[in-house]
Amino acid sequence: MNLNEEVELLKGVPILAKIEPAKLKLLAFTSERVNYTEGQEVCHQGDPGDAMYVILGGVADVLIDTPTGQIQVSEMNKNDFFGEIAILCDVPRTATIKARQPLNTLKISKDTFYRMVGEFPQMAIEIMRELAHRVEDTNKKLREATANNKAA
C-alpha cells in the first residue's frame, strides 16, 4: 500500500476525517504499519501503553481478563481505533486486543498522537465522542447484565 492509499484510508477514520490531507500524509509517513496474523495479540491487558492503533483492515476482538478467564467484550473493524486510553491516562492497557483474522494496523506513537491532538483540536473532540460512546455502551451492557441477574 502506498502513502496516498493510506491517506485515503485514514480519511475514513472518524477521528482523522477532518484533518487536511497533507497532515494525514505526514501521520501515515511517521507512523508504523504493523500486520498481525489470525490469533496474534496486538497488545495485552496490563502491559504499558506506548501507542494507539488504527485498524486499516481486518477484525480484532477486545478481550478482558476475569477470574474465570478472558471474555470478549467487543470487536473492532476497519476505521476503529484503540490504545488511546493507555496513552491519554498513562495507565496500563485496559484490554487485550487479538486479531480474529489477518489485521492491518497503523501504530501511532504516543509523541505523534499528542502532537496531532495539539495541532487538531477536532481530533480530540472526536476521541472524546468515541470514548463517551464506549462508556455508554458499557453502561448499557452492565444495566442489562444486572437486570438479567435479578431476573434469574
Confidence of residue 22 (pLDDT cuts 50, 70, 90): confident
Give the number of other Cβ atoms within 10 Å of residue 133's Cβ.
10
Q: What is the structure's pLDDT at 152?
A: 67
Secondary structure tally for the chain: helices H, strands E: 5, 8
Give the number of other Cβ atoms within 10 Å of residue 102's Cβ.
13
Specify the CATH number for the domain of residue 49. Answer: 2.60.120.10
Confidence of residue 7 (pLDDT cuts 50, 70, 90): confident
Percent of the chain with pLDDT over 90: 39
Residue 15 has pLDDT above 70, yes or no: yes
Q: What is the pLDDT of residues 75-114, one digit of tens each?
A: 999 999 899 888 888 889 989 999 999 999 999 999 988 8
Range of the domain at 35: 3-151
Q: Where in 9-124 does DSSP place strands (E)?
A: 32-36, 41-43, 51-57, 60-66, 69-76, 81-82, 96-99, 103-109
Entry pTM: 0.83
Q: How many domains does the chain have?
A: 1
Residue 51 has pLDDT above 80, yes or no: yes
Residue 39 has pLDDT above 70, yes or no: yes
Angle at 137 between CA 144 and CA 50, to 5 degrees: 135
Give the number of other Cβ atoms within 10 Å of residue 56's Cβ.
22
Q: Looking at residue 104, what DSSP letter applies? A: E
Distance CA 72, CA 113 (A): 27
Task: Indicate the average pLDDT of the chain.
Answer: 88
Q: What is the pLDDT of residues 103-148, one digit of tens each?
A: 999 999 999 888 888 888 877 888 888 888 878 887 887 888 788 8
Contact 91, 107 (CB under 8 A): no
